[in-house]
């Protein structure tokens, strides 16, 4: 399925047992921010979500697809262990090829659970393509 | 391909090549170094990641055969147990709504932390090493529970030191929790006895109330898989291994990375088994509050996501194989030394969960069966979660199930819709095909009257 023409966004694609997520943006940071929102859309309706914590995460330099895996792994870890729920992220790329991330966590009583929780990100069919003015990724989430 | 791909199926059950890439995944698995005999797929096969779900593959350990975390899956030791109540459906009937309310309260489910037993780090290490046996020793269960668990409830070779701090953090607050997705706790009633002599030996009778629990190793198992796929992928070049799918990352079983994964996987498996043991205790408590009997005897507990070192005869020689079952159930025949003593002449109970609103089955392992003594693990999905949600809303599905006499307690309406029965293959046809293929024989058919979902 061809991604929509919008500058940034995300959507879920069909997979028999799990979920394939697709995210895109004008640069790597925007694409990765959309990837976190795509992940959150699986398990929560963020309408009215009250962000109560910003968790700072520093990712070491790595290939962009590995940064994507690490970022999603961080969000899933936060979901599984904390009292607040990841609903978004602010991502900044560093000159050394790493990332500075601020994960936005919302109070559990301010959100409505919607679907199955994500538990892991697969390397199967993982893609992160960087073109001029557009970065696009697809990743498979185990639920 | 180093070996053929063999799919046990009927034409009707074969996955659609256009929408489901599981057959391509059967082919990919057939390329793994050291694989023997065939890359097998069960009748419930469907699209996974790396391995198909419903896949079985064995590698020859002495011939450099590999182990792949993708051949186990994220949810290490995801599995099923069946508990038998002395009550029958008629006796339970009036108490069912109260029982379901009690179960909904007592069984942690859905996203995030939530546990029957809040562990400290020493207790977590005890679980990782001792599995169900540790839980029972701490008062969560009976000696009889252990007799009816695969491997006595403890997979040998577990090493908590091979499990990352991150995985342990995910495991501290989730022991005794259902999770979400396709996991469930169901109250079922035996609808048909199909092999009277075996059913009697299993303690099953028509109309009997049972509890089926389907869950796994929760966040801890997933983190172990994530951690070790990364480690193994970066080590593959040293062993000159290339795979057609990154989630098939693998190394020789007898390599430092392979041994480390085996030790961590065993720890995850022990956590998964203990998780189902703690859920059992929650179910017993709920039955005690809401019915005349809290007695729930374990028929069997078996994993359907695991790699095990097993000895099989191949080409006239006994060989140690690493048998990966991903969404496939071990199905030992009568006489196998790993059976519980009192089932040694009968065979292993093979538990096949249906899809909420449809039947589940108890089968028994068959003598001379193929695929390294393996059978299906469920009905097998045919429809994506997004397609299921488009077809029905959770509240409507709940009403439909209630009209069919099935009480549902669900964590989220959308999650319920994603698990709608029409998203799965026809479980009756799946187990019939398993029987026709000689993998296992049907013993009893069970239908749900109550479902707890995450």
Nearest to A83 by CA among A120, A109, A114, A44: A109
Nearest to B68 by CA among B115, B29, B18, B97: B29
Contact B30, B38 (CB under 8 A): yes
Interchain contact, B386 vs A12, CB within 8 Å: yes
Within 10 A of A92 (CB to CB), how many other CB atoms are there? 10
**Which residues on chain A are in Cβ contact (under 8 Å) with B226?**
73, 120-121
DSSP designation for A16: S
pLDDT at A116: 84
Nearest to B111 among A13, A117, A120 (CB): A117
Q: What does the mean pLDDT of chain A come to?
A: 93
Half-sphere exposure of B206 (CA within 13 A, CB side): 6
Interchain contact, B180 vs A143, CB within 8 Å: yes
Length of chain B in terms of residues written: 454
Does residue B276 register a pLDDT over 80?
A: yes
Does residue B160 register a pLDDT over 90?
A: yes
Longest dimension (CA), chain B: 64
Nearest to A126 among B222, B246, B385 (CB): B246
Does residue B139 register a pLDDT over 70?
A: yes
Average pLDDT over residues B421-433: 95
Q: What is the pLDDT of residues B190-225, one digit of tens each?
A: 999 999 999 999 999 999 999 999 999 999 999 999
The reply to whether A113 touches chain B by the CB within 8 Å rule is yes
Instruction: Please count the helices (runs of H) and the strands (runs of E) in chain B.
Output: 13, 17
CA B140 to chain centre: 21
Under 8 Å CB pairs connecting chains A and B tally to 131
Contact B86, B295 (CB under 8 A): yes
pLDDT at A3: 65
**Which residues on chain B are in Cβ contact (under 8 Å) with A18?**
48-49, 385
Nearest to B314 by CA among B26, B37, B27: B37
pLDDT at B19: 80
The reply to whether B271 touches chain A by the CB within 8 Å rule is no
Q: What is the pLDDT of residues B350-383, one digit of tens each?
A: 999 998 889 999 999 999 999 999 999 999 999 9
More confident residue, B111 or A64: A64
Q: Verify whether residue B165 is a known catalytic residue.
A: no
Nearest to A41 by CA among B49, B110, B414, B453: B414
**Which residues on chain B are in Cβ contact (under 8 Å) with A77?**
166, 169-170, 219, 223
Q: Give how far B382 is from chain A: nearest CA, Å.
A: 6
Contact B35, B1 (CB under 8 A): no
**Minimal Cα distance from A40: which residue of B?**
B111
Instruction: Please count the helices (runs of H) and the strands (runs of E) in chain A.
Output: 2, 9
Could you tell me the CA-to-CA distances from B240 to A20, B296, B394 in Å, in that order? 30, 51, 49
The reply to whether A47 touches chain B by the CB within 8 Å rule is no
The reply to whether A120 touches chain B by the CB within 8 Å rule is yes
Interface of A with B in 53-112 (CB under 8 A): 69, 73, 76-77, 79-83, 85, 108
The reply to whether A129 touches chain B by the CB within 8 Å rule is no
Percent residues over pLDDT 70 in chain B: 100
Q: Which residue among the candidates B46, B214, B304, B377 is catalytic per the annotation?
A: B377
Interface of A with B in 10-39 (CB under 8 A): 12-19
Interchain contact, A115 vs B412, CB within 8 Å: yes
Nearest to B30 by CA among B49, B14, B51: B51
d(CA A28, CA A130): 8
Q: Give how far B311 is from chain A: nearest CA, Å.
A: 31
Nearest to B418 among A77, A79, A115 (CB): A115
First to last CA, chain B: 40
Average pLDDT over residues B232-244: 97
Q: Give how far B369 is from chain A: nearest CA, Å.
A: 28
d(CA B79, CA B82): 10
Of the listed ranges B3-7, B298-302, B313-317, the least confidently predicted one is B313-317
Q: Are β-strands B208-215 and B317-326 bridged in parallel, bridged antiparallel, or unpaired?
A: unpaired
pLDDT at B411: 82
pLDDT at A2: 67
Interchain contact, B180 vs A17, CB within 8 Å: no
d(CA B407, CA B251): 47
Rounded to 5 degrees, φ, ψ at A124 are: -70, 125
The reply to whether B233 touches chain A by the CB within 8 Å rule is yes
Nearest to B385 among A19, A82, A119 (CB): A19
The reply to whether B179 touches chain A by the CB within 8 Å rule is yes
d(CA B409, CA B356): 12
The reply to whether B385 touches chain A by the CB within 8 Å rule is yes
Does residue A20 register a pLDDT over 70?
A: yes
Interchain contact, B74 vs A142, CB within 8 Å: yes
Does residue B113 register a pLDDT over 90?
A: no
Rounded to 5 degrees, φ, ψ at B224 are: -60, -45
Q: What does the mean pLDDT of chain B come to?
A: 96
**Which residues on chain B are in Cβ contact (under 8 Å) with A79?**
111-112
Best interface-test mutation with A: which of B71, B218, B412, B422 has the largest number of A CBs within 10 A? B412
Residue B82 contacts by C-beta under 8 Å, 6 or more apart in sequence? B210, B211, B212, B213, B298, B299, B300, B349, B351, B362
Task: Write the secondary structure of B192-238 as one string of H (helix), E (strand) and C (coil).
Answer: EECCHHHHHHHCCCCCEEEEEEEECCHHHHHHHHHHHHHHHHHHHHH
Could you tell me the CA-to-CA distances from B22 to B29, B33, B43, B54, B203 in Å, in that order? 10, 20, 12, 9, 37
Assign B20 to helix, strand or coil.
coil
Within 10 A of A84 (CB to CB), how many other CB atoms are there? 22
**Which residues on chain B are in Cβ contact (under 8 Å) with A13?**
386
Longest dimension (CA), chain A: 41
pLDDT at B37: 98
d(CA B190, CA B193): 7
pLDDT at A15: 84
Rounded to 5 degrees, φ, ψ at A71 are: -65, -45
In A76-119 the beta strands, taken as DSSP E runs, fall at 84-93, 99-107, 112-113
Rounded to 5 degrees, φ, ψ at B8 are: -85, 110
Does residue A1 register a pLDDT over 70?
A: no
Nearest to B111 among A79, A140, A142 (CB): A79
Interchain contact, B46 vs A17, CB within 8 Å: yes
Q: pTM of the entire structure? A: 0.96
């Amino acid at each position: 399925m061809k991604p929509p023409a919008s500058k940034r966004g995300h959507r879920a694609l069909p997979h028999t047992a799990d979920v394939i997520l697709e995210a895109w943006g004008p640069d790597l940071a925007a694409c990765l921010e959309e990837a976190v929102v795509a992940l959150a859309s699986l398990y929560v309706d963020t309408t009215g979500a009250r962000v109560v914590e910003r968790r700072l995460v520093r990712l070491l330099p790595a290939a962009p697809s590995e940064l994507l895996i690490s970022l999603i792994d961080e969000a899933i870890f936060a979901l599984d262990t904390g009292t607040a729920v990841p609903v978004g992220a602010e991502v900044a790329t560093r000159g050394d090829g790493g990332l500075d991330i601020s994960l936005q966590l919302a109070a559990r009583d301010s959100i409505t659970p919607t679907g199955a929780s994500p538990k892991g990100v697969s390397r199967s069919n993982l893609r992160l393509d960087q073109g001029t003015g557009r970065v696009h990724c697809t990743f498979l989430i185990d639920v | 391909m180093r070996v053929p791909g063999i799919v046990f199926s009927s034409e009707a059950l074969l996955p659609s090549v256009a929408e489901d890439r599981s057959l391509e995944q059967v082919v990919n698995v057939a390329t793994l170094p050291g694989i023997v005999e065939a890359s097998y797929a069960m009748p419930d096969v469907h699209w996974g990641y790396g391995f198909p779900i419903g896949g079985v593959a064995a590698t020859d350990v002495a011939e450099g055969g590999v182990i792949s975390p993708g051949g186990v899956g994220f949810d290490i030791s995801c599995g099923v147990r069946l508990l038998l109540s002395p009550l029958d459906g008629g006796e339970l009937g009036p108490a069912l709504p109260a029982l379901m309310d009690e179960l909904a309260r007592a069984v942690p489910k859905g996203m995030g932390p939530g546990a029957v037993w809040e562990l400290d780090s020493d207790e977590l290490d005890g679980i990782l090493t001792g599995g169900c046996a540790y839980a029972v020793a701490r008062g969560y269960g009976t000696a009889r529970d252990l007799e009816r668990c695969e491997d006595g409830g403890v997979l040998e070779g577990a090493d908590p030191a091979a499990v990352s701090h991150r995985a342990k953090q995910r495991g501290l607050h989730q022991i005794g929790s259902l999770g979400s997705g396709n996991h469930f706790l169901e109250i079922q009633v035996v609808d048909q006895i199909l092999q009277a002599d075996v059913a009697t030996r299993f303690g099953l009778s028509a109309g009997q109330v049972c509890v089926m629990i389907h869950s796994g190793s929760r966040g801890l198992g997933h983190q172990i898989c994530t951690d070790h796929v990364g480690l193994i992928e970066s080590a593959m070049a040293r062993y000159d291994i290339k795979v057609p799918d990154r989630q098939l990352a693998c190394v020789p079983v007898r390599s430092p990375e392979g041994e480390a994964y085996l030790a961590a996987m065993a720890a995850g498996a022990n956590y998964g088994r203990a998780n189902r043991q703690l859920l059992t205790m929650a179910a017993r408590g709920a039955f005690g509050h809401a019915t005349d009997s809290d007695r729930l005897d374990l028929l069997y507990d078996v994993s359907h996501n695991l790699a095990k070192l097993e000895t099989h005869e191949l080409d006239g020689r006994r060989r140690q194989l690493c048998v990966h079952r991903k969404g496939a159930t071990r199905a030992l025949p009568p006489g196998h030394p790993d059976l519980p003593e009192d089932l040694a002449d009968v065979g292993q109970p093979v538990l096949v969960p249906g899809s909420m609103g449809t039947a589940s089955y108890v089968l028994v392992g068959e003598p001379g069966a193929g695929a390294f003594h393996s059978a299906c693990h469920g009905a097998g999905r045919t429809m994506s979660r997004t397609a299921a949600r488009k077809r029905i809303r959770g509240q409507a599905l709940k009403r439909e199930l209630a009209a069919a006499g099935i009480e549902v307690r669900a964590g989220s309406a959308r999650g319920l819709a994603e698990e709608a029965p029409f998203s799965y293959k026809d479980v009756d046809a799946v187990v019939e095909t398993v029987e026709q293929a000689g993998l296992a024989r049907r013993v009893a058919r069970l239908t749900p009257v109550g479902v707890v979902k995450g």
